[in-house]
Amino acid sequence: MGHFLHSVDIRGKSVLVRLDLDLPLEKGKFDTTRLSDGAQTLQYLIDHDAKKITVIGHRGRPEGKKVSKLSLKPVEKLLLKTVKIPKTIEFRVLENLRYDKREESGSLPYAKELAKGHDMYVNDAFASSHRKHTSITFIPQILPTYFGLQFEKELKGLAPLITNQKRPFIAILGGAKIETKLPIIKALQDKADVILVGGKLAVELIKHPIENRKLIVGVLTKDGKDISKLTVEQFARFISMGQTIMWNGPMGKFEDAASRSGTRAIGNLLAGTKGYTVVGGGDTEAALSILKVRKGISFISSGGGAMLDYVAYGTLPGIEAVQGKEKYD
C-alpha cells in the first residue's frame, strides 16, 4: 500500500494534518497517548522543512454546536508543549471540526474551505477513518493525501489480523454499542474461528440471541457488572490456544474496582499468551492503563470501531479515500 508520508517531498509545502485529538479524560486530566502519537507526524513535517502546518481534529460529539467544554484550545496547549514549533513555520490548530455539522454529514464545500491554501493533506486519525466524514473522505478528493506515521503503524500492527492470520484466530468483544457491533459479529464469522463476548454486549445478546455457530456468549455475575469466574475459565481455554487474538471492549464495568476482575483476567491472559495479540478501543485501552496490563500485548490500536471495521471488512472509508477509490457528489 503506497501513499505513506516518507514517499513525498515536503520541503516548502503547506500541509493540512488531521490528528486524533479526542483525548480521553481521566479524573480531569487528559490521557496524552494519542497526542504523543500525532506529535511524531508533526515532528516529521518540521524536520522535512514544511512551510506551513495546519492541524485539524475533533473532540467529543458537539453535533454542530460550539460547546466550550469540547474546545480544542486545551489540547492545542498540550500539543505546543509536546512539539517545539520553529518560528520559520506558520503553524495553527483549527477549532473542533464537529462544531460545524458539515464535518459529520460530509460536505465537499466544507472540504474545500479546509483545504484552501494547502498543497497536501495528511490523515493521521486512524480511529476516525471508519467514518465518511468531511475530513476523512472528502478532503482527499481535493488535495494529494498521505497516511501519517501513526496511521502507518496501525496498518502494520493490524496486518497480521488481515492477511494470512495464524490460526486459531480468536475475537473477544465486550463493552456496549450492540447496534454497531452486531454487523461486525456477522462479518467476523468469516474471519475468526471463535468470537467470545462479555460486558454489556453479552447482556444484549442474551436478551436478543443471534444465530452464529462461532459465538460464545459469557455468563455474567449476579449484578451483571462483570463476567463470571466460570466464563473467565472458559474464555481462558480458547485464549490459550489462540495464535491470533483481537480484543475490543471491557468485560464489565471496569471503572468500579469491584467489577474489573474479568477485564483484568482477560488482559493478563492476552499479555501472557504466545500468540499475536491486539487490543483496541478507548475504553479497553483505558482499562489496560488503569489495570497496568500493557506489557506483553503485541499491538495496541488507537481505534476501536475503526479496528473492528478494518479487520471485519479489510478496508476503511479513510483508506479507500486516500487510494482514490471513493468519490462523493
**Tens-place pLDDT, residues 117-161:** 999 999 999 999 999 999 999 999 999 999 999 999 999 999 999
Q: Examine residue 328 and state whether it is found in any structural domain, yes or no.
A: no
Q: Is residue 63 part of a domain?
A: yes
Determine how many CB atoms are found less than 10 A away from the CB of residue 113.
Answer: 12
For 113, left (φ over 0), alpha (ψ -120 to 50), or beta?
alpha
**Same domain, residue pair 283 and 177:** yes
Residues 22 and 149 in one domain: yes
Residue 186 lies in a domain: yes
Q: Is residue 16 part of a domain?
A: yes
Asked if residue 164 and residue 47 are part of one domain, the reply reads: no
C-beta separation of 109 from 102 below 8 A: yes
User: Is the pLDDT assigned to residue 237 strictly greater than 80?
Assistant: yes
163 shares its domain with 308: yes
Judgement on whether residues 52 and 184 belong to the same structural domain of the protein: no
pLDDT value of residue 58: 98
The percent of residues in the chain predicted with pLDDT above 90, rounded, is 77
* Residues 105-114: tens digit of each pLDDT: 999 999 999 9
Model pTM score: 0.93
Which residue, 41, 263, 45, 53, is CA-closest to 154?
A: 41
326 falls in which pLDDT band (50, 70, 90)?
Answer: low
With 50 as the cut, is the pLDDT of residue 329 above it? no
Sheet holding 215-217, edge to edge: 215-217, 194-197, 169-173, 244-248, 276-280, 299-301
On whether the CB atoms of residues 276 and 170 are closer than 8 A, the answer is no
Do residues 278 and 295 share a domain? yes
> Kind and range of the H or E element at 244?
strand 244-248
Domain range enclosing 216: 156-313
Distance CA 275, CA 241 (A): 8
Mean residue pLDDT across the chain: 93
Is the domain of 167 the same as that of 182? Answer: yes
7-47 pLDDT, tens digit per residue, is 999 999 999 999 999 998 877 888 888 898 899 999 999 99
CATH code assigned at 264: 3.40.50.1260
- CA dihedral sign, ordered 142, 145, 148, 151: positive
Question: Is position 60 within any domain?
Answer: yes
The answer on pLDDT for 179 being more than 80 is no
Query: How many domains does the chain divide into?
Result: 2
* pLDDT tens-digit readout, 254-312: 888 899 999 999 999 999 999 999 999 878 887 888 878 778 899 999 999 999 999 99
Does residue 329 lie within any of the structural domains?
A: no
Residues 253 and 297 in one domain: yes
Confidence of residue 2 (pLDDT cuts 50, 70, 90): low
Q: Is residue 171 domain-shared with residue 251, that is, in the same domain? A: yes
> Residue 19 domain-assigned?
yes
Residues 213 and 106 in one domain: no
Max CA-CA distance within the chain? 62
Q: Are residues 32 and 178 in the same domain?
A: no
Position 220 in a domain: yes
Together in a domain, 114 and 177: no
The rounded percent of the chain whose pLDDT value lies above 70 is: 98
